[in-house]
């Protein structure tokens, strides 16, 4: 993982003072995840570039993370964390460029506050929502942006293009602002969680982004991704990031607390996260498998990016309820046309499920007998095979946090099993290996530090 920072113009050679790193030395720093090396590919009167190269110790991470846990998965060893920019880079920025990140420079304090012609280049950074997302994130902040899509493998053009880009950002700004915006927006682009997200993460967001995020048009999306959709942290951060106007001051007397405290139902959180992910994955034709009474459909039906939804459920009574809930008879033709509700069992290949962009199975798999799961997987991942598949299921570990639930019981009498995070991850990883998908995991709901979130989500994307 490589970041370079370049300063051009009359102060170029002072870059080394701004970052407090000697231009003639190559230095290495220990980080919690490996080593950060700093060196200058060039340093002259007119142009200076400093490089931050991260060497991620994947084996070391596996060892520390799994000292008390279960066996590590293949994906813990084999992944792109060492090569593509992610939250490790933010950790390294604060470790290596701490004073610059705080806007300090001992030798030239006024230079730290002066906007300078700076350029940052990230050698590889993911954007699963495509190139346009870079524009949406960085243009409102005044950056000039250059991107170059990195092919999966130059020798095999047929493999396609992947989702990694080389990104170059240029702007006349203070080094502090540039570093802070990278600190927040790199993990936002990567959109994966590599460590526990708690209150400190929300504090970091407010500290680093307090003066530029309130006006950003993608404020909600940035906060959501940065805090991994943890609803309570998001609400609080958004409230504190709200631009302070006189009007706000007058009307916020006792409302904010109420807004923070108001519990958002767990199920609503699942549906909300699923809806956001579908949008991010540009899913226009969507399957809702085990749609029940149509709660997810209700959210999706009026979204302009959703062109077609098919809800499947084995239970005709649920389908009838869905039809009533969705008040189809009162909807305009354009909306009604988008939807079909169909009866079917998810454990059989069904030609009606082919040709969709995405499928959701929200709190469904735990209703299927465990020995029938291979048949479910075959029908969904092997046969219907949409590009994106979102699956949620309860996290059994979290049951310890429910005082009303006797130890060893399931949350619902129709549940055939409830999985720990590891069990869910193992199953998902097996699916990926069999059917050619890759997967990321998210906890849904307020997480307990020991037991995780009440619900867990896997987002699968098919290898291109
Ligand atoms: N996804 C819905 C409902 C979850 S409840 C929601 O978000 O609210 C689980 C649903 O899965 C029930 O409606 C049940 O009828 C359906 N279901 C369970 N096993 C199924 C199977 N083998 N085939 C099809 N549907 C099934």
Strand partners, 288: 311, 360
When pLDDT is cut at 50, 70 and 90, the band that residue 347 belongs to is very high
Q: Does any ligand 1 atom lie closer than 6 A to the CB of residue 287?
A: no
Atom of ligand 1 minimally distant from the CA of 290: 11
When pLDDT is cut at 50, 70 and 90, the band that residue 255 belongs to is very low
At 464 the pLDDT is: 81
- 3-state SS of the chain? CEEEEEEECCCHHHHHHHCCCCCCCCEEEEECCEEEEEEEEEECCCEEEEEEEEEECHHHHHHHHCCCCCCCCHHHHCCCCCCCCCHHHHHHHHHHCHHHHCCCCCCCHHHHCCCEEEEEEEEEEECCCCCHHHHHHHHHHCCEEEEEECCCCCCCHHHCCCCEEEEEEEEEECHHHHHHHHHHHHHHHHCCCCCCCCHHHHHHHHHHHCCCCCCCCCHHHHHHHHCCCCHHHHHHHHHHHCCCCHHHHHHCCCHHHHHHHCCCCHHHHHHHHHHHHHHHCCCCEEEEECCCCCHHHHHHCCCCCCCEEEEEECCHHHHHHHHHHCCHHHCCHHHHCCEEEEECCCCCCCHHHCCCCEEEEECCHHHCCHHHHHHHHHHHHHHHCCCEEEEEEEEHHHHHHCCCCCCCCCCCCCCCCCECHHHHHHHHHHHHHHHCEEEEEEEECCCECCCECCEEEEEEEECC
pLDDT in tens, 295-340: 999 999 989 999 999 999 988 889 988 998 898 888 888 899 999 9
Query: Left if phi > 0, otherwise alpha if psi is -120 to 50, otherwise beta: which for 142?
Result: left
Our mutation pick for probing the ligand 1 site, out of 295, 313, 352, 366, counting the most ligand atoms within 8 A of Cβ, is 313
Q: Does any ligand 1 atom lie closer than 6 A to the CB of residue 363?
A: yes
At 264 the pLDDT is: 62
When pLDDT is cut at 50, 70 and 90, the band that residue 256 belongs to is very low
Atom of ligand 1 minimally distant from the CA of 345: 23
Do 188 and 225 contact (CB within 8 A), yes or no?
yes
pLDDT in tens, 109-150: 999 999 999 999 999 999 987 888 999 999 999 999 999 999
When pLDDT is cut at 50, 70 and 90, the band that residue 29 belongs to is very high
Distance CA 310, CA 128 (A): 25
The Cβ-side half-sphere exposure at 442, using a 13 Å CA radius, reads 25
Q: Does any ligand 1 atom lie closer than 6 A to the CB of residue 366?
A: no
Atom of ligand 1 minimally distant from the CA of 295: 8
Residue 258 has pLDDT above 80, yes or no: no
Mean pLDDT for the stretch of residues 41-49: 94
CA of 368 relative to ligand 1 center, distance in Å: 9
Our mutation pick for probing the ligand 1 site, out of 290, 291, 380, counting the most ligand atoms within 8 A of Cβ, is 290
**Backbone angles phi and psi of 3, in degrees to 5:** -125, 135
The token duo for 69 is 């846990």
Do 172 and 141 contact (CB within 8 A), yes or no?
no
Angle at 122 between CA 116 and CA 123, to 5 degrees: 140
Distance CA 92, CA 344 (A): 51
Distance CA 150, CA 123 (A): 10
Q: Does any ligand 1 atom lie closer than 6 A to the CB of residue 346?
A: yes
The gap from C-alpha 111 to its chain's centroid, in whole angstroms, comes to 35
Q: Whose CA is nearest to atom 23 of ligand 1?
A: 345
Our mutation pick for probing the ligand 1 site, out of 314, 394, 414, counting the most ligand atoms within 8 A of Cβ, is 314
At 275 the pLDDT is: 96
Q: Whose CA is nearest to atom 16 of ligand 1?
A: 290
When pLDDT is cut at 50, 70 and 90, the band that residue 237 belongs to is confident
Domain boundaries of the chain, sorted by first residue: 2-195, 255-462
CA of 335 relative to ligand 1 center, distance in Å: 23
At 331 the pLDDT is: 87
Instruction: Give the homologous superfamily in CATH for domain 2-195.
Output: Hen1, N-terminal domain (3.30.1610.20)
The gap from C-alpha 221 to its chain's centroid, in whole angstroms, comes to 10
Q: Does any ligand 1 atom lie closer than 6 A to the CB of residue 350?
A: no
Mean pLDDT for the stretch of residues 249-264: 36
Do 362 and 337 contact (CB within 8 A), yes or no?
no
Our mutation pick for probing the ligand 1 site, out of 274, 343, 347, 364, counting the most ligand atoms within 8 A of Cβ, is 364
pLDDT, greater one: 184 or 76: 184
CA of 406 relative to ligand 1 center, distance in Å: 25
Instruction: Return the CATH number of the domain spanning residue range 255-462.
Output: 3.40.50.150
Q: How many residues does the chain have?
A: 464
The Cβ-side half-sphere exposure at 10, using a 13 Å CA radius, reads 3
pLDDT in tens, 278-301: 999 999 999 999 999 999 999 999
Atom of ligand 1 minimally distant from the CA of 315: 15
Q: Does any ligand 1 atom lie closer than 6 A to the CB of residue 375?
A: no
Our mutation pick for probing the ligand 1 site, out of 269, 270, 288, 292, counting the most ligand atoms within 8 A of Cβ, is 292
């Amino acid at each position: 993982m490589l970041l370079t920072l370049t300063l051009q113009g009359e102060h170029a050679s002072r870059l080394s003072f701004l970052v407090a790193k000697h231009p003639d030395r190559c230095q290495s720093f220990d980080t919690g995840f490996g080593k950060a090396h700093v060196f200058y590919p060039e340093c002259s009167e007119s142009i200076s570039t400093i490089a931050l190269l991260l060497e991620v110790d994947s084996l070391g991470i596996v060892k520390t993370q799994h000292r008390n846990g279960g066996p590590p998965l293949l994906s813990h060893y084999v992944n792109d964390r060492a090569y593509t920019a992610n939250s490790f880079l933010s950790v390294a920025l604060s470790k290596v460029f701490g004073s610059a990140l705080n806007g300090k420079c001992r030798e030239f304090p006024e230079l730290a506050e002066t906007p300078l012609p700076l350029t940052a280049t990230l050698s590889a950074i993911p954007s699963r929502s495509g190139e346009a997302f870079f524009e949406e994130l960085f243009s409102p902040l005044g950056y000039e942006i250059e991107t170059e899509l990195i092919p999966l493998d130059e020798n095999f053009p047929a493999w396609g293009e992947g989702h990694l880009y080389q990104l170059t950002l240029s702007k006349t700004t203070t080094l502090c602002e540039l570093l802070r915006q990278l600190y927040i927006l790199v993990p936002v682009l990567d959109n994966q969680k590599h460590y526990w997200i708690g209150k400190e993460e929300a504090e970091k967001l407010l500290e680093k982004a307090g003066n530029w995020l309130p006006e950003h048009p993608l404020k909600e999306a940035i906060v959501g991704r940065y805090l991994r959709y943890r609803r309570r942290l998001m609400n609080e951060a958004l409230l504190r990031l709200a631009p302070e106007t006189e009007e706000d001051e007058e009307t916020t007397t006792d409302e904010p607390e109420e807004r923070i405290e108001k519990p958002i139902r767990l199920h609503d959180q699942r549906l909300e996260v699923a809806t956001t992910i579908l949008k991010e994955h540009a899913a226009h034709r969507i399957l809702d498998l085990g749609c029940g009474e149509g709660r997810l459909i209700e959210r999706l039906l009026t979204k302009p990016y959703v062109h077609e939804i098919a809800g499947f459920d084995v239970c005709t009574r649920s389908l009838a309820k869905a039809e009533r809930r969705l008040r189809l008879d009162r909807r305009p033709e354009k909306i009604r046309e988008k939807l079909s509700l169909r009866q079917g069992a998810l454990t059989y290949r069904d030609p009606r499920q082919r040709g969709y962009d995405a499928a959701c199975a929200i709190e469904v798999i735990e209703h299927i007998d465990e020995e029938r799961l291979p048949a479910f997987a075959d029908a969904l991942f092997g046969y219907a095979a949409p590009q994106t598949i979102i699956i949620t299921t309860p996290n059994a570990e979290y049951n310890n946090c429910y005082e009303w639930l006797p130890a060893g019981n399931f949350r619902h009498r129709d549940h055939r099993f409830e999985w720990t995070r590891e069990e869910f991850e193992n199953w998902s990883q097996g699916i990926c290996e069999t059917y050619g998908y890759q997967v990321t995991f998210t906890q849904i709901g307020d997480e307990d530090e020991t037991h995780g979130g009440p619900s867990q989500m896997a987002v699968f994307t098919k290898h291109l």
